[in-house]
Amino acid sequence: MKKLVKYVKPYLFMIFLSIGLLFAQANLDLQLPDYLSNIIDTGIQQGGVENAAPLAIRQQEMDRLFIFISSTNQTVVLESYTLVMENSSDFSEYVIDYPILQNESLYIRNKLKWKEIRTVSDILERPFVGVFILEQAIANPENATALWDALGVDPSTLPPGMDLFDYLESLPFINRKLILKGIISSFEAMGKNMVSQMAAFAVRQEYETIGMNMNKLQRNYILKAGGLMLLMTLLSVVCTISVGFLSAKIAAGMARDIRAGLFEKIEGFSGTEFDSFSTASLITRSTNDVTQIQAVTSMIIRMVFYAPILGIGGIIHALNKNTSMWWLIGVAVLALLVLVLTVFLIAVPKFNKMQSLIDRINLVAREGLTGMLVVRAFNREKYEENRFDQANLNLTGVSLFINRVIVILMPFMMFVLSGLSLSIIWIGSHQVADGFMQVGDMMAFMQYSMQIVFAFLLMTMMFILLPRAVVSARRINEVLQTEEVIKDPPNPKTFVEPFKGKVEFRNVSFRYPGAESDVLHNINFTALPGQTTGIIGATGSGKSTLAKLILRFYEATSGEILIDNLNIKEVTQQTLREKIGFVPQKSALFSGTIRSNLLFANENADEQLLEQAIEVSQAKEFVYSKPERFDMEIAQGGMNVSGGQKQRLSIARALVKRAPIYVFDDCVSALDFKTDAALRKALKESTGESTVFMVSQRVSTIKNAEQILVLDEGKIVGKGTHDELMETCPIYREIAISQLELEEAL
Amino acid sequence: MSVHGNKPPKQGSRGPGPMAAMMRGGEKPKDFKAAFKKFIQYLGRYKLIILFAILLAAASTAANIIGPKTLGKATTKLFEGLIATIQGTGSVDFDYIGKIVLVTLAWYIASAILSYLQGWIMAKVSADISYRLRKDISRKINRLPLKYFDKTTYGEVLSYLTNDVDTINQTLSQSITQIISSVVTVVGVLVMMFTISWKITLVIMGVLPLSALMISFIVKRSQKHFNQQQDYIGHVNSHVEEMFGGHEIVKAFNGEQKSIRKFNKYNNTLYKAAWKSQFFSGIMMPVMTFIGNLGYVAVAIFGGWLTSQGTITVGDIQAFIQYVRSFTRPMGQIASASNVLQRTAAASERVFTFLEEQEESDESAKELKLGKIKGLVEFRNVKFGYSPEKTVIHNFSAIAKPGQKIALVGPTGAGKTTIVKLLMRFYDLDGGAILIDGININDISRHELRSKFGMVLQDTWLFNGTIRENIRYGRLDARDKEVVEAAKAAYVDKFVHTLPKGYDMEINEEVTNLSQGQKQLLTIARAVLANPPILILDEATSSVDTRTEILIQKAMDNLMKNRTSFVIAHRLSTIRNADLILVIRDGDIVEQGTHNELLEKNGFYAELYNSQFETADFSIAEPVALEGTK
């Protein structure tokens, strides 16, 4: 994957930025249940009282609290509050919010930092609960006998004029501390949370005594928390959209770069590489595989990165709420894991089978279509239908099975999620009753657990998606890391001018990579300018390969090919091919117009040259019969012109190049005899001083060549003119006879 | 995949869910209503079952929706119990909570079972319907007149069979019930929310228009960019196909840089559309989540406030939050439903149009049999055209006596196969008649007619099966011994023994494990086994080496003995020996007669024949190279 990793580099910054944003997003999303839980626990249950550091407290009450507070802590508290009395400067301002100020002095909390509030709250929390309980007990002494027993104090025995709090104050601080502990021990046993909730309740009572507007307090709290939630939601969506933007840019950008890299690489490939990959595979690799990578890249950024962040974040937040219920999430995740794994273990092999059955049904249908004439001629309609029906039944069976396995997923998954909520409520409610958590926390825990499960599901999805992408990536990488077999020399030479075009093969052998035997074996010949060299032989005798070696589409395995006495390996491929006009066996035209196709050979060709070329190639009649002439549209692959027309245009294209060497690779097969003859005659005149190679299966096409090479199984078995070969070369004679039916003519 | 496919490869035909479906869009049926009506008619007796499944889906969804509200009661009870504990006035009522949890569990279990039952049923229904559709299509292929395939490519038919049936299958097995449960969810959730608190529900519903607005904005945008992206992918892909397919040309003419420049231009345009398309389809989910979160916040604020006022309970908030969370997904699915339905309608429109195409005329009433025939074939004033406007055969008459050899001669595309197709009644005549042993071929069934013919085409057709099966295709009840005898007569036996597994060798899917010549011999063996009184032969071919060609020739000569045969001729020996030569030009039979007669006539045939000597410097005749490699 080395080569492919290179393409990630330019985007690293954007990727890291995305990850940062994902962290922010996950964090923001995970805050929401926290705030909801605050709204329920603090806003609703505690009436908006957040902690045990009240906004205001009566001096009298504060003094009672101080009974249970060490002197150092008392100083801390006093520093945080200002005593306001009737004669204070801002009395009139405060009295609106705190009506009781008219009768009593109040401590008003200073503007404090959050941390300072925390400290004060921690100091006041337990004393608040203690004083609250004592006050309740004093109000209803008949209900509190148990408490008095526990404390070893009986308020009724206290001297007159001395209330319980005065009495307590008279005790040493150590004793007071123990007493406090005794009072609230039963609540502390119900969990730390219970004390906090009691303290908040006590603070509320105090507020009511002061005459504060409780409704407003509560509303403000809820609005404040809600406002923060809204802000987070907005920030979160900004984050996700930014990530979406970045991931789109990254994925599309990487796809573009990889595509360009691939294309450039493949344009440099020779026939050898094309054969080893196959053209079709190279096309899929640079199109579909890249598209696949693009889709997965963006998904990786948006999901693969996000899922663990969300999952781990969710776990942290959930544990924050309650540590003893994590196993519920574990069970749910495990259940889903088992389910997903089982389904996939059952389904995946069947999926592969289904794919092959789909291929099968396609194959049978395609055969039925392409063989329609034969099927009907032999009255085999029923046979075909049965064959199809068999394939159809097999496919239907497997696909039904897969569907029935897959449909388990959704209901079961839903059930696990619902079951998880149920269990959290059941077990959570006990936890709440025992004071380990509050109701809002339980609800938040429920939502976190959903988020964790969701993250987990996202991750499983990726495990399904990733392997496909990995296959694509591997296929692309294979192309990128292929070493080209044919390379330009580091210090290229150029042909000596004037260029003549003498082509010489010296002991040339060629073998396809990995093949067992040579396609061409020890080929020796010289082709001279102004002459035509015909090459003939049966299919597979190596004619076309020989022609392609001249253009260096393949590298000769051994021996040398010289043009004007210079080895073709010593010049660049470009320099070499500039000298050659080539007409391939499979005449390919490109989409565009006739003109654009002809100009492909020579951008500077003028109109006269074009006309000359189509005249020689016998395409004139056809081109001129079209109203648009040279501007006639050619569809992709030249599909809107016939095979013969394609061949003639393909020849015209080579002629436009005005090359000193021409290679015609069996390119007149679709022409009828008359056109073939006329073409040969015109060619002979127009190619003049050029060196011409004419590869053919037809004797008639090469009959008049100055030199004919007869190939049989990769070897030259005859070299000479037609007449000479008829005398000396049995294979040539055999070909000629079978085509010309000598025995009949005689 | 073909190198020169004329369509860009189909992208992501199995999309990853409703989001992708929403993005794709675009495809629309011509007549949605009619297409759907036909589709529903086709469902036949499955209609009731589907209705039942839909009810199941609705019930399952409903059961699922009840959960949160019931569960909310438990939370409320817990909350009240907690307050009571703090105030010292009571404790949590676990009996009640336990009861609620059990009741809810029952609902959830019911929902899961119903949902699975529904899935189970629909899987079967969709499998059955897909099976039936495929079967009908395959039967239809064999019942359509050949004429149909003049205007429809095989690719299209295959696409009906695979892509379109697959789309219908998907809709049946998933989309229908998904859409139903989405609708039930949205409606049900709304109802439940209203019963809890109409105030909060109204506030949440305030978010709905916003979400509808956002969804439609994104869908519109992303559809535009998605289509653009597909277009540009098409450009890039076809350039790639073209350049790689014509790689040798590009290299030969030093066109690499030019090609790369063009590619980069396409690639950059694609990039611009691609990132936008990716972006818009990618933000669909976050935006939906955002809308969900807005609802969540709304519930938190208003729910919190109302609870503090004692209007609703804490459990209600919990229920609302679960409802809001389960709201966004079905909304998305409903938004994409129209596209899914459109796509299905378009697919079924294509499939049913195909299934309703005019079939070959019914012939069950034709009971006339040819019996043992001599093989006298007469063309009497035959008139024919592939389309009514263009008659290709105007007035053609000829008689082939039993055992005669008739050569069909003419340039490529001249219509030599037309005669063959008429003879075997692949097409019906526009005028005149063809008689076999004096019986008009229209008076007998095609089946009966074709049972008298054997056919060997140059375009060899073999199927993915063993060699033995392919030969036996000529006569299905032939014994193994007869198959081997036919193989011997067609020179197949010899090479079969050099193949791995011999007669039981499987011919591969691309038929590449046999040479062209071997394939040709196999098709001859098939005709030998069929042993028909009349033969139609297409002579080989330049892509076969000389020695095999001689074998093929011999095999064909063997086959033709004592049969009336029509030969699409390429070689002089065949033509000269022919009892009758039909010279075909531009789809019409311009001359007929024996070799000598035609030469004397000094017409088109003579011109063709003589033109061979123009540049020849020796006095032997060349083949009438009228037809080249296909």
Q: What is the nearest CA distance from A168 to chain B, expressed in angstroms?
A: 25
Residue A167 lies in a domain: yes
Nearest 5 degrees, angle CA A347-CA A349-CA A355?
Answer: 95
Nearest to A601 among B161, B169, B253 (CB): B253
pLDDT below 50 — which residues of chain A? 742-746
Closest CA to B578 of B602, B557, B547, B549: B557
Q: Choose, out of A21, A46, A222, A401, the residue to mutate when testing the contact with B (most B CBs < 10 Å).
A: A222
Fill in the amino acid letter for A436.
F
User: Is-contact A252 B271, C-beta < 8 A?
Assistant: yes
Q: At what angle do helices B46-87 and A381-433 cross, to 10 degrees?
A: 10
Q: Is residue A362 located within the same domain as residue A472?
A: yes
Nearest to B271 among A252, A268, A740 (CB): A252
Question: Of all residues in chain B, what percent carry a pLDDT higher than 90?
Answer: 13
Residue A71 lies in a domain: yes
Answer whether A240 sits within 8 Å of B286, measured CB to CB.
yes
Q: Is residue A439 located within the same domain as residue A336?
A: yes
- CATH code, domain with A637: 3.40.50.300
pLDDT at residue B413 greater than cutoff 70:
no
Closest CA to A204 of B311, B89, B308: B308
Q: Is A639 in the B-facing interface, judged by CB distances under 8 Å?
A: yes
Closest CA to B79 of B67, B61, B103, B96: B96
Question: Within 10 Å of residue B562's Cβ, how many Cβ atoms?
Answer: 10
Residue A680 lies in a domain: no
Q: Which residue has the tokens 């050029």?
A: A690
Q: Is the dihedral of CA A369, A373, A376, A378 positive or negative?
A: negative
Instruction: Tell me which chain B residues have a C-beta less than 8 angstroms from the C-beta of A457.
Output: none
Helix H or strand E segment including A533: strand A532-537
- SS3 state of residue B602: coil
Instruction: Tell me which chain A residues have a C-beta less than 8 angstroms from the C-beta of B94.
Output: 429-430, 433
Residue A137 lies in a domain: yes
Nearest to A385 among B115, B142, B301 (CB): B142
User: Is-contact A262 A47, C-beta < 8 A?
Assistant: no
For A425, counting Cβ atoms within 10 Å of its Cβ (0-12 exposed, 13-18 middle, 19+ buried), the class is buried
pLDDT of residue A738: 66
Q: Is residue A274 located within the same domain as residue A207?
A: no
**Torsion, CA B442, CA B445, CA B451, CA B455, rounded to 10:** 50
Closest CA to B313 of B101, B68, B76: B76
CA B472 to chain centre: 29
Residue A552 lies in a domain: no
Q: Which pair of structure tokens corresponds to residue A512?
A: 């396809």
Residue A241 lies in a domain: no
User: What is the C-alpha to C-alpha distance for residues B132 and B165, in angstroms, rounded to an integer?
Assistant: 10
The residue from A447, A480, A513 where one domain ends is A480
Q: Is residue A203 located within the same domain as residue A347?
A: no
Closest CA to A253 of A299, A285, A297: A297
The residue from A480, A510, A539 where one domain ends is A480
**Whole-structure pTM value:** 0.76
User: What is the C-alpha to C-alpha distance for residues A241 and B282, in angstroms, rounded to an integer?
Assistant: 9
User: Is-contact A329 A424, C-beta < 8 A?
Assistant: no
A residues 41..80 contacting B (CB < 8 A): 43-45, 47
Range of the domain at A444: 269-480
pLDDT at residue B522 greater than cutoff 70:
yes
Q: Is residue A173 located within the same domain as residue A274?
A: no
Instruction: Tell me which chain A residues have a C-beta less than 8 angstroms from the C-beta of B249.
Output: 582, 584, 588, 590, 600
Q: Is residue A396 located within the same domain as residue A293?
A: yes
Residue A637 forms beta bridges with which residues? none
Question: Is the bond preceding residue B541 a cis peptide, omega within 30 degrees?
Answer: yes
Distances (CA, A) of A65 to A172, A584, B571: 15, 103, 122
What architecture does CATH give domain B459-531? 3-Layer(aba) Sandwich (3.40)
pLDDT of residue A12: 92
- Among chain A residues, the shortest Cα distance to B572 is held by A741
* Per-residue pLDDT tens digits for A270-315: 888 888 888 888 888 888 888 888 888 888 888 888 888 988 898 8
Instruction: Tell me which chain A residues have a C-beta less than 8 angstroms from the C-beta of B463.
Output: 364, 367, 371, 387
pLDDT at residue B21 greater than cutoff 70:
no
* Per-residue pLDDT tens digits for B254-298: 888 888 999 999 999 999 988 998 888 888 778 888 888 888 888
User: Is-contact B564 B377, C-beta < 8 A?
Assistant: yes
DSSP B542: T
Q: Is residue A457 located within the same domain as residue A315?
A: yes
A residues 680..709 contacting B (CB < 8 A): 680-681, 697-698, 700, 703-704
Distances (CA, A) of B428 to B378, B421, B568: 15, 9, 21
Distances (CA, A) of B199 to A472, B300, B310, B325: 53, 13, 14, 18
DSSP states of B429-474: -SEEEEEETTEEGGGS-HHHHHTTEEEE-SS----SSBHHHHHHTT
Instruction: Tell me which chain B residues have a C-beta less than 8 angstroms from the C-beta of A476.
Output: none
pLDDT of residue A388: 92
User: What is the C-alpha to C-alpha distance for residues B413 and B416, in angstroms, rounded to an integer?
Assistant: 7
Q: How many CA atoms lie within 13 A of B463 on its CB side?
A: 28
Q: At what angle do helices A326-370 and B94-143 cross, to 10 degrees?
A: 10
Instruction: Tell me which chain B residues have a C-beta less than 8 angstroms from the C-beta of A362.
Output: 158, 161-162
Closest CA to B307 of A46, A422, A438, A227: A46
Q: In which order are the strands placed within the sheet that holds B377-384?
A: B393-400, B377-384, B431-436, B439-440
Closest CA to A45 of A523, A437, A322: A437
Residue A348 lies in a domain: yes
Q: What is the nearest CA distance from A62 to chain B, expressed in angstroms?
A: 22
Q: What is the ipTM of this complex?
A: 0.81
Q: What is the nearest CA distance from B569 to chain A, expressed in angstroms?
A: 14
Q: Is residue A281 located within the same domain as residue A430?
A: yes
Instruction: Tell me which chain B residues have a C-beta less than 8 angstroms from the C-beta of A240.
Output: 283, 286, 289-290
Q: Is residue A285 located within the same domain as residue A189?
A: no
Instruction: Tell me which chain A residues have a C-beta less than 8 angstroms from the C-beta of B256.
Output: 267-268
User: Is-contact B242 A637, C-beta < 8 A?
Assistant: yes
Q: Is residue A465 located within the same domain as residue A318?
A: yes
Q: Is residue A178 located within the same domain as residue A99?
A: yes
- Among chain B residues, the shortest Cα distance to A405 is held by B120
Nearest to A237 among B146, B286, B300 (CB): B286
Q: Is A597 in the B-facing interface, judged by CB distances under 8 Å?
A: no
Work out how many CB contacts closer than 8 A connect A with B: 479
Q: Which pair of structure tokens corresponds to residue B123?
A: 């899987």
User: Is-contact A81 A107, C-beta < 8 A?
Assistant: yes
DSSP states of B7-59: SPPPP-SS-SSHHHHHHH-----S-HHHHHHHHHHHHTTHHHHHHHHHHHHHH
Answer whether A426 sits within 8 Å of B97, measured CB to CB.
yes
pLDDT of residue A185: 79
User: Is-contact B537 B566, C-beta < 8 A?
Assistant: yes
Q: Is residue A177 located within the same domain as residue A290?
A: no
Residue A684 lies in a domain: no
Q: Choose, out of B135, B162, B203, B244, the residue to mutate when testing the contact with A (most A CBs < 10 Å).
A: B244
- What is the number of domains present in chain A? 3
Question: Within 10 Å of residue B501's Cβ, how many Cβ atoms?
Answer: 10
Closest CA to A486 of A554, A566, A536: A554
Closest CA to A374 of B147, B4, B203, B459: B459
Residue B52 forms beta bridges with which residues? none
Distances (CA, A) of B205 to A205, A578, B186, B190, B324: 38, 73, 11, 9, 10
Instruction: Tell me which chain A residues have a C-beta less than 8 angstroms from the C-beta of B260.
Output: 263-264, 267
Fill in the amino acid letter for A589.
L
Q: Enter the CATH code of domain B15-182+333-357.
A: 1.20.1560.10
Helices of type H across A640-729? 643-656, 673-687, 699-702, 722-728
Average pLDDT of chain B, as a whole number:
81
